[in-house]
Structure 1
Amino acid sequence: MQLLNIGFGNTVMVERIIAVINTGSSPARKLRELAKKEGRLVDVTEGRRTRSILVMDSNHVILSSVQPDTISQRMMALHPGTQLAEYYAEMAQKGKES
């Protein structure tokens, strides 16, 4: 289990992140509103501007004030030399073996 800092001392489990998206698009805004309406929205911006949206495997949507590129860099720093797709394929394979 590896934790990823998403700002202001808040962390999420790297393995549970499905997507990190920019907030500028209309679909991103719709995703945010739908999650809020359904009670699946977690806001960790501490009142600052939302810069990225994390979609989790539990269907929760997390708002962060950290740029999507920064989050991606932090994820890659946890697994140097591997691409994320390769990492998740490896994790899935380990899960099947258990």
Structure 2
Amino acid sequence: MNQFIHVGFGNIVNTDKVIAVVSPDSAPVKRMVQTAKETGTAVDATQGRKTKAVLVMENGQLVLSALLPETIANRAQTGREDLDEA
């Protein structure tokens, strides 16, 4: 069953396709984001705000979010707990 997580501003992502949620502050991640923007594989879900998290998808795309990585991880964990209770 597909689970989805809200990554800000009405945007949702399939949690089964997320490999990692990382901070955009390190130089390697900044290079990944720049390359993804140049090649068209970046999905900007920030609505013009500062990127605080980068979701690396299994197909190589990057989803840029204005939410902190911890917030996204907590939302993903909460969603799993809700399914376990059902």
Q: Residue by residue, what CA displacement relative to the aligned partner does 1:21-70 show, whole Å, maximum 9, x if unpaired?
A: 00110011001011112110110100111100000011111100000000
Secondary structure in structure 2 of the residue aligned to 1:47? coil
User: Larger relative CO (CA 8 A, sep 6+): 1 or 2?
Assistant: 2
Q: Which residue of 2 aligns with 1:43?
A: 44
2:24 is matched with which residue?
Answer: 23
For structure 2, the residue ranges without an aligned partner over 5 or more in a row are 82-86
- Stretches of 4+ moved more than 2 A in 1? none
Q: Structure 1, unaligned stretches of length 5 or more?
A: 81-98
Alignment of 1:61 with 2:62, yes or no, is yes
Question: Residue 79 of structure 1: SS of its match in structure 2?
Answer: helix
SS in 2 for 1:4: strand
| Distance (whole Å) between structure 2 residues aligned to residue 59 and residue 28 of structure 1 | 13
**Counterpart Cα distance in 1 of 2:54 and 2:43:** 10
Paired residue total: 80
Q: Percent identity between the aligned chains?
A: 36
The one-letter code sitting in structure 1 at the alignment partner of 2:22 is I
